[in-house]
Amino acid sequence: MKTILQNFYNTFLIDIEKCSTPEQVRDIEVKYLGKKSEIHSMLKNIGSIENVKEKKDVGKAINSTKNDIQRIINERKELVERKSIERRILENHIDWSMPVFSSSEGSLHPITIVRREIESIFTGMGFTIVDGPEMETEYYNFEALNIPEFHPARDMQDTFHLVNSMIMRTHTSNCQARSMEYMKPPLRIISPGKCFRYEAVDASHETAFYQIEGLLIDEKITIANLIAVMKLFLSEIFKSDIKVRLRPGYFPFVEPGFELDINCLICGGIGCKTCKNSGWLELLPCGMVHPNVLRYGKIDPEKYNGFAFGLGLTRLVMMKFGIPDIRLLNSGDIRFLKQFK
């Protein structure tokens, strides 16, 4: 029996060394340890041995051989599975340092293109880019901007109110209020980002849109400084002279306040659905910072003043690229985005 067991074990060792896949190891396990295996037959035949001592020794030898075979199978199984995983990793490896060579490469979103251009223009004029939260408190979104509770101006900004008593910011002016708390004048900032308002969606209105808030505070700032910065910015962004008009406008955070309109570049001022057939598009509200806003920001209005503006980035993108419908910008249509490579 010992000779039979040894030959069985030696044959197993030869076969297990040839296994290189988990499937082959499983086949060997069935062949040498399964119910139809030779070692299983040996265990069944132990009962036919009459000598008790011999029966005990044979059973011990068979079980020892069986345990050794099971141990080697388990080790081999772990080895081939690890090698299989390593092989798949190597086969599917991506070298991220290699340059991309593809005819289907992506493109920047038009809002990203214009946003980067605007940031470059304003940083060239000494402005700093700041950011703020999209989920905001009513204090920074309204009160610190001279819009107290129950003020009628709050009704103009169809606000999304959240169950945690916060709101989705209706403008990026919240960054203006926050920046004045930790930045001391003179200061020049712009704050680009997404805003949210509960509006009826049409060709020129969306519930989510992009805006850039601008703020400059220093000594002896006048409306002439505001106009100069706006003129320089618009000439840079449109690469040409643009027709503009200033209209008096009411905004609680500025005094005096203005609406700056530009001639509709889609229809050339003739009138279309984007400009509601007026020939003009409201581009940005602006004005001189209200003294109350300065006080909320712990800035002395007797010593400092400044101007602020809120640029409708989404509408500016529509003007720059001649996009007639704002809904295209949030559509996720790849055919539309590919035009801006």
Per-residue pLDDT tens, the chain, 341 aa: give them.
Answer: 677 778 888 888 888 888 888 888 888 888 888 888 888 788 777 777 777 777 777 778 888 888 888 899 899 889 888 888 888 888 877 777 777 665 566 778 999 999 999 999 999 999 999 999 999 998 998 889 888 887 777 776 778 888 898 999 988 989 988 999 888 889 999 999 999 988 888 887 888 889 999 999 999 999 889 988 988 898 888 787 777 788 998 888 999 999 988 888 778 788 888 788 888 877 788 999 999 999 999 999 999 999 999 888 888 888 788 888 888 888 888 888 888 87
Backbone angles phi, psi at 137, to 5 degrees: -85, 160
Backbone angles phi, psi at 52, to 5 degrees: -65, -45
Backbone angles phi, psi at 202, to 5 degrees: -150, -160
Give the pair of three-digit tokens for residue 217.
Answer: 């505070």
Cα dist from 66 to 8, 57, 61, whole Å: 10, 14, 9
Report the pLDDT value the prediction gives residue 206, as an integer from 0 to 100: 84
Instruction: Identify residue 223 by its one-letter amino acid code.
Output: I
For residue 257, give the nearest of 293, 233, 231 by alpha carbon. Answer: 293
Which residue shows structure tokens 């003009």? 280
Report the pLDDT value the prediction gives residue 300, as an integer from 0 to 100: 93
Provide, for the chain, the percentages of residues in helix, strand and coil under a 3-state DSSP scheme, each rounded to the nearest 5. Answer: 45, 20, 35
Cα dist from 231 to 238, 272, 318, 340, whole Å: 11, 25, 19, 26
For residue 264, give the nearest of 246, 244, 248 by alpha carbon. Answer: 244
d(CA 159, CA 155): 8
**E strand intervals along the chain:** 128-129, 135-136, 167-168, 187-196, 208-218, 244-248, 254-263, 280-289, 305-312
pTM: predicted TM-score of the whole model, two decimal places: 0.63
Coil, strand, or helix at residue 315? helix
d(CA 271, CA 323): 15
Backbone angles phi, psi at 247, to 5 degrees: -120, 145
The helix (run of H) or strand (run of E) holding residue 175 is helix 173-182
Q: Which residues pair with 136 in a beta bridge?
A: 167
Q: Please, what's the b/e burial string for 34-67 (b: 16 or more CB within 10 A of its CB; e: otherwise)? A: eeebbbeebeeeeeeeeeeeeeeebeeebeebbe
Cα dist from 100 to 70, 94, 97, 106, whole Å: 49, 11, 9, 11
- CATH of region 110-340: 3.30.930.10
